[in-house]
Chains A and B, each alone.
Chain A
């Protein structure tokens, strides 16, 4: 036992040592390769490590490779220009130095390929180091371009490398969200972002076309994660952080222009949204649409197709699409026919239970704040909300009741809903038609808000008090519903729990003798102890 343990310990030590020695080995190898061209073949030893099973070896090998090739790039010891095939180069009439450079360039390409393979490795740390290494190469290539190009036409940027990287990142099979969030730090650089965006667009178009527009959840999720990680600058002056500095005509470089950025960004998003999305993806997109997508588009109105499609979906997605639509209507002069009718039809019992309740009521409050709306519309909204309130939880009721009161305050002619004296004293059935889709036809104005009268008997004291307000003329001052929008049930509970009461607490006066009482309790009549 003890022996075994010792052995274990020693083996662990050994592996540690081996890792250390391997590291030292690799470092010394890199040194030797860099020192003299004689040892060029040692590169293969590095590659061996790079393809080993042990992740630690791989990581150290990646570090060594990055050191080696970065310094080679710096020394310009990699072949520039169009690369001849290896055999051809060896046989061809090149000088020894030339041959060496061609050889090294080939190794460099091998290395990049291997690293790209590693991007889909199982272990995250390997992925990460590979990603960092590749980005270092990209920076190196940008600074010391390998392609011999005409400086006036093209700007030096390792576009191919970035494209390959993006292709790997947007995997169809694995969820790369962790790696992508690591990648975000590189997206801070303006040129990288620019080229990444265009590569994404290309990639998405290619992949989705190949797949004939079918839904690819993992792939689309990866794309969305990458897209949502892109932080666009809002001003031209903020474009300062570049990976590659262009010596000449920096000003004319596309990556240095905000408009170009915006255009690429827009095309990327449109390209992504063009295809069918999974349902939850719609929600995710719509949630960030209004504040991180629309403002950075050069022509936000292009989003109208997507938004209207989403608005037609119904349910929570429609609710979310409202926000984007509102921005378009409000800031970009979009004319949306039957907007209010659709909004009216969005009012379903479920709106009180969905997560986006606060957002919806905030927007609805905005839409209905116009004083130029027709009375019948406002009355229809008020009546429908009141009817729906019969199924709402108290937190929602605390929003809805002030909301209805605000509607009535803004449109005094709606006061008949809560106060219609003198007409007929005889009772009448509710003329409101709940199922009518057109707010103009639903007879809301002929009805009264009896539902609020019902809610005066609600179990929660705050709701009951709020409902009591219709007994007297409403005050002029509008209620601020933004305070209650985010209220939770626990906060409501705390109102009573946290109250420091000095008064004595009322107690039940009927003596309790047992847990379940067959005569008095409903629970006792339907359930028994065992």
Chain B
């Protein structure tokens, strides 16, 4: 294999040198491409071809590439000789060897030894000088690794002797001498070597141990002397040491500081007040725009991202509870664990665990902080809540301190005194009570989220409204979703429980509305955190209310007015959810419920009137932004006014559903004493009036009647303003108008109501009566179908030659592709032909070889036979 390519390459070489001249002139090699006609100015590239040359070129190329590949086919490994010029066919072998040697010399002979006049060359192993290695061998400190290295190097030195090209000439000679010795056994040599190295290692070990012992000894002796030395020259020593140390430290510190110093990071620019204000305004504008869009009922796929409520003390980094290590108060089974200290000294036992340091730091605080103050601070906003908490902590810490300052003996004495001296006990009892109250009033900081409604009830039971709010706020903080996985679920449950709790508060008698009032902000925050949960709870509440009313209606045909808790729920709904949306999963049903209550609940008492008016207020609240039309509202207001009409004959209007034109309960708002309005002054009705009413005398009753009437008139006025743009406004207000202008005349009313009365009538009469006729919205006319054909001018006939640049480019690429494709095809064909030929050659050569061998065998057999026969013949003879 090695021979043939060489030959061919030689031949090529020969030929190449000759081609340029000899071949071109050889008429047998040249093929002339004859042209049909000459074209002036056209450069001719291919008028003369050398087919033989190009063919042989192609064949050679294939031999180098395709043939190699073919031969390498199905062979997984390959031997690559990286020696210089190994595959270079142009080089003579002598040249190659010379070159290699020169290169080796060059590599060793770099700048370092530029001035090394010494002929001697260093022997290296892995680029390291062997001589140097040997020199260091003794000094190298006892690492096993380095020892092995040494060993290896030693071994390498000898073992590589035979192979080496990194060997000096002298060594070479030496080697030749040794060669004769080595002839006895290489194995022995190696064993010898190993033994030697082992011995060396052992020796070194021993040496090192000895050295260690020595140093230890020295150290001990030094210590003995040190005492003397210290006494003699302590200063000098110290100075030296100190000098040494700070120096090092300083430097180290500097370095470290520099190393660890935080890179200055660009911080956010401080915003100017104007910027802040602008941002706030933009945010509000965006929210308002969103609200308006929802009010119009536009169906837009995604609404603005849920607004996240950010409390004032939010650092915008999720929630981080400030972790006090001090033991915090906690609730256990609905009781705070501080509460048991009633018998003894009220204030000492609960927080013994608190560390002294804390107390020391807190001593400057005044004793006995007012609880109200705390709450006031709490009221000021979330921002100060933490401070407040701390304050409270300080407070109790302080009391602890007080108690601890007294020795235990004193405490005992006090106890004794308490039992013995009566007047003193009473005093201390008062104190105790005060302390107890203080302890009670002070709240724990962590709360477990309630698991069920009764848990929450127990938790909040017996606290002031403010504290209840604080408890809820703290519960919410302690169970912030970012703190633990289950917290989200807990808080979502809390939303439902809180709503339930609110309902329960409203059903108590008397209803605890102030507590509800305090809980509203917490509920709002929770709602902002978990809109789905809040929505679901509210929906279920409203659904239940609606369902129960529907059931009552089916049985009796009418229902009773919703209780106070439902009214509160409706109000809370308006606080938590936008009432102006065209369609909202909570507020739409709530409004429907209000509407139904206003039509289906007969008014039978003043209490019912009040409930109805609360519902009307709610209804006006609900529609005040969107100005939606609520027929039930107008009906109810007209009916309520009707209740105040004395003479129920000859009505110019009709009252609808819950009201009757006349009957048992149709005089509810008629004053029992027509003079009583003189003593009437306007003030707000309590919400609880919807629940129960009791009057001492007729004057009270009349007062209430007038209050209802004033509320009603106020609502009518608001409705007038809301609906005055509606096209049918006069017809909507017709009953109220005729009521006010004919039956409920202004002089019979108190002064403030007279004004209202007049305003209403004016608004109604000032509304436009006439409207333009209804027409359908104008549609955009649908364009007619265009049936005329599209005419395109054709300017150039025949073959289009690149009208535009893109087209030209496209044409060019197409043409190129075609050409390439054809060329590739041709090449492939040639390749396969070549391969086939090669394969055939292979087969032929194999066959020939086989034939030759067979012939040889036959020949040898024949000679054998011949010899044997000859021998036989000889024997016979």
Q: Which residue in A352, A450, A489, A504 is a CB contact (below 8 Å) of B531? A: A504
Set of chain A residues within 8 Å of B595, measured between Cβ atoms:
393-394, 459-460, 489
Per the 8 Å Cβ criterion, residues 512-529 of A in contact with B are 512-516, 521-523, 525-529
User: Are B628 and A457 neighbours in the complex by a CB distance under 8 Å?
Assistant: yes
Q: Which residue in B510, B568, B583, B630 is a CB contact (below 8 Å) of A515? A: B568
Q: Which residue in B523, B654, B771 is a CB contact (below 8 Å) of A428? A: B771
A350 to B577, CA, bound (A): 34
A350 to B657, CA, bound (A): 7
Set of chain A residues within 8 Å of B773, measured between Cβ atoms:
420-421, 423-424, 428, 448
Set of chain B residues within 8 Å of A529, measured between Cβ atoms:
513-514, 517, 686-687
Kindly provide the distance from the CB of B313 to the nearest chain A CB, expressed in whole angstroms.
Answer: 15
Q: Which residue in B524, B583, B686, B729 is a CB contact (below 8 Å) of A527? A: B686
Kindly provide the distance from the CB of A404 to the nearest chain B CB, expressed in whole angstroms.
Answer: 13
Per the 8 Å Cβ criterion, residues 615-642 of B in contact with A are 617-618, 620-624, 626-632, 634-635
Set of chain A residues within 8 Å of B87, measured between Cβ atoms:
none
Whether B772 sits at the interface, judged by CB under 8 Å, is: yes
User: Are B728 and A450 neighbours in the complex by a CB distance under 8 Å?
Assistant: yes
Known contacts A390-B631, A493-B589, A526-B613; is-contact A472 B731 (Cβ 8 Å): no
Closest to A474 in B: B776
Whether A366 sits at the interface, judged by CB under 8 Å, is: no
Whether B532 sits at the interface, judged by CB under 8 Å, is: yes
User: Are A349 and B654 neighbours in the complex by a CB distance under 8 Å?
Assistant: yes
Set of chain A residues within 8 Å of B635, measured between Cβ atoms:
391
User: Are B629 and A457 neighbours in the complex by a CB distance under 8 Å?
Assistant: yes
User: Are A507 and B577 neighbours in the complex by a CB distance under 8 Å?
Assistant: yes
Per the 8 Å Cβ criterion, residues 809-851 of B in contact with A are none
- Which of B156-164, B448-456, B543-551, B789-797 touches A? B543-551
A450 to B547, CA, bound (A): 35
User: Are B546 and A493 neighbours in the complex by a CB distance under 8 Å?
Assistant: yes
Whether B581 sits at the interface, judged by CB under 8 Å, is: yes
Closest to B304 in A: A506
Closest to B685 in A: A527
Set of chain B residues within 8 Å of A494, measured between Cβ atoms:
543
| Contact mask for chain A residues 439-474; partner B; CB cutoff 8 A; 1 contact, 0 none | 000000000111101110111110011000011110
User: Are B771 and A450 neighbours in the complex by a CB distance under 8 Å?
Assistant: yes
Whether A206 sits at the interface, judged by CB under 8 Å, is: no
User: Are B599 and A428 neighbours in the complex by a CB distance under 8 Å?
Assistant: no
Interface centre among B543, B575, B586 (most CB of A within 10 A): B575
Whether B614 sits at the interface, judged by CB under 8 Å, is: yes
Set of chain B residues within 8 Å of A44, measured between Cβ atoms:
none
Whether A307 sits at the interface, judged by CB under 8 Å, is: no
Kindly provide the distance from the CB of A413 to the nearest chain B CB, expressed in whole angstroms.
Answer: 16
| Contact mask for chain A residues 477-508; partner B; CB cutoff 8 A; 1 contact, 0 none | 00000000000111011101101010111111
Whether A93 sits at the interface, judged by CB under 8 Å, is: no
User: Are A489 and B684 neighbours in the complex by a CB distance under 8 Å?
Assistant: no
Set of chain A residues within 8 Å of B523, measured between Cβ atoms:
512
Kindly provide the distance from the CB of A159 to the nearest chain B CB, expressed in whole angstroms.
Answer: 42
Closest to A395 in B: B596
Whether B17 sits at the interface, judged by CB under 8 Å, is: no
Known contacts A459-B591, A526-B617, A528-B686; is-contact A509 B776 (Cβ 8 Å): no
Kindly provide the distance from the CB of A446 to the nearest chain B CB, expressed in whole angstroms.
Answer: 10
Set of chain A residues within 8 Å of B576, measured between Cβ atoms:
507-508, 512
A499 to B454, CA, bound (A): 30
User: Are B514 and A528 neighbours in the complex by a CB distance under 8 Å?
Assistant: no
Whether B302 sits at the interface, judged by CB under 8 Å, is: yes
User: Are B654 and A390 neighbours in the complex by a CB distance under 8 Å?
Assistant: no
Closest to B572 in A: A515
Set of chain A residues within 8 Å of B557, measured between Cβ atoms:
355
Q: Which residue in A390, A393, A492, A506 is a CB contact (below 8 Å) of B731? A: A390
Set of chain A residues within 8 Å of B631, measured between Cβ atoms:
390-393, 458
Interface centre among A464, A503, A504 (most CB of B within 10 A): A504
Q: Which residue in A418, A423, A526, A530 is a CB contact (below 8 Å) of B714? A: A526
A428 to B770, CA, bound (A): 4
Known contacts A496-B588, A522-B718; is-contact A461 B582 (Cβ 8 Å): yes
User: Are A459 and B599 neighbours in the complex by a CB distance under 8 Å?
Assistant: no
Q: Which residue in A427, A461, A497 is a CB contact (below 8 Å) of B297? A: A461
Whether A333 sits at the interface, judged by CB under 8 Å, is: no
Number of residues of chain A lying within 8 A (CB) of chain B = 75
Whether A335 sits at the interface, judged by CB under 8 Å, is: no
| Contact mask for chain A residues 44-65; partner B; CB cutoff 8 A; 1 contact, 0 none | 0000000000000000000000
User: Are B592 and A420 neighbours in the complex by a CB distance under 8 Å?
Assistant: no
Kindly provide the distance from the CB of B765 to the nearest chain A CB, expressed in whole angstroms.
Answer: 13
User: Are B627 and A427 neighbours in the complex by a CB distance under 8 Å?
Assistant: no
Set of chain B residues within 8 Å of A457, measured between Cβ atoms:
627-629, 726
A528 to B772, CA, bound (A): 44
User: Are A512 and B577 neighbours in the complex by a CB distance under 8 Å?
Assistant: no
Set of chain A residues within 8 Å of B859, measured between Cβ atoms:
none
User: Are A455 and B592 neighbours in the complex by a CB distance under 8 Å?
Assistant: no
Whether A426 sits at the interface, judged by CB under 8 Å, is: yes
Interface centre among A348, A390, A503 (most CB of B within 10 A): A390
Whether B384 sits at the interface, judged by CB under 8 Å, is: no
User: Are A526 and B770 neighbours in the complex by a CB distance under 8 Å?
Assistant: no
User: Are A421 and B775 neighbours in the complex by a CB distance under 8 Å?
Assistant: yes
Set of chain A residues within 8 Å of B306, measured between Cβ atoms:
504, 507
User: Are A505 and B614 neighbours in the complex by a CB distance under 8 Å?
Assistant: no
Whether B643 sits at the interface, judged by CB under 8 Å, is: no
A516 to B613, CA, bound (A): 15
User: Are A419 and B307 neighbours in the complex by a CB distance under 8 Å?
Assistant: no
| Contact mask for chain B residues 324-344; partner A; CB cutoff 8 A; 1 contact, 0 none | 000000000000000000000
User: Are B629 and A459 neighbours in the complex by a CB distance under 8 Å?
Assistant: yes
Whether B528 sits at the interface, judged by CB under 8 Å, is: yes
A334 to B462, CA, bound (A): 76
Set of chain B residues within 8 Å of A458, measured between Cβ atoms:
628-631
Closest to A456 in B: B629
User: Are B535 and A427 neighbours in the complex by a CB distance under 8 Å?
Assistant: no
Set of chain B residues within 8 Å of A428, measured between Cβ atoms:
770-773
Set of chain A residues within 8 Å of B588, measured between Cβ atoms:
460-461, 496
Set of chain B residues within 8 Å of A342, measured between Cβ atoms:
none
User: Are B687 and A493 neighbours in the complex by a CB distance under 8 Å?
Assistant: no
| Contact mask for chain B residues 698-730; partner A; CB cutoff 8 A; 1 contact, 0 none | 000000000000010011001000000011110
Closest to A449 in B: B774
Whether A387 sits at the interface, judged by CB under 8 Å, is: yes
Set of chain B residues within 8 Å of A497, measured between Cβ atoms:
539, 542-543, 585, 589
User: Are B772 and A426 neighbours in the complex by a CB distance under 8 Å?
Assistant: yes
A277 to B583, CA, bound (A): 49
Whether B488 sits at the interface, judged by CB under 8 Å, is: no
A459 to B622, CA, bound (A): 9
User: Are A507 and B528 neighbours in the complex by a CB distance under 8 Å?
Assistant: yes
Set of chain B residues within 8 Å of A2, measured between Cβ atoms:
none
| Contact mask for chain A residues 346-390; partner B; CB cutoff 8 A; 1 contact, 0 none | 001110110100000000000000000000000000000001001
Using a CB–CB cutoff of 8 Å, the interface residues on chain A facing chain B are 348-350, 352-353, 355, 387, 390-394, 417-421, 423-430, 448-451, 453-455, 457-461, 464-465, 470-473, 488-490, 492-494, 496-497, 499, 501, 503-509, 511-516, 521-523, 525-530
30 contacts between A and B (CB under 8 A): A350-B654, A390-B728, A427-B770, A429-B769, A455-B629, A457-B629, A459-B623, A461-B582, A489-B550, A490-B547, A493-B589, A497-B542, A504-B303, A504-B306, A504-B531, A505-B535, A505-B577, A506-B303, A507-B527, A509-B307, A512-B520, A513-B524, A514-B517, A516-B517, A525-B684, A526-B684, A526-B711, A527-B614, A527-B684, A529-B517
- Give 7 nearest A-B pairs by CB, closest first: A353-B657, A490-B550, A427-B770, A459-B628, A512-B575, A523-B617, A493-B589
- Can you add 12 more A-B contacts, CB < 8 Å, to A488-B550, A497-B539? A426-B772, A450-B771, A451-B728, A458-B629, A490-B549, A490-B550, A503-B302, A504-B306, A507-B306, A515-B517, A526-B617, A530-B513
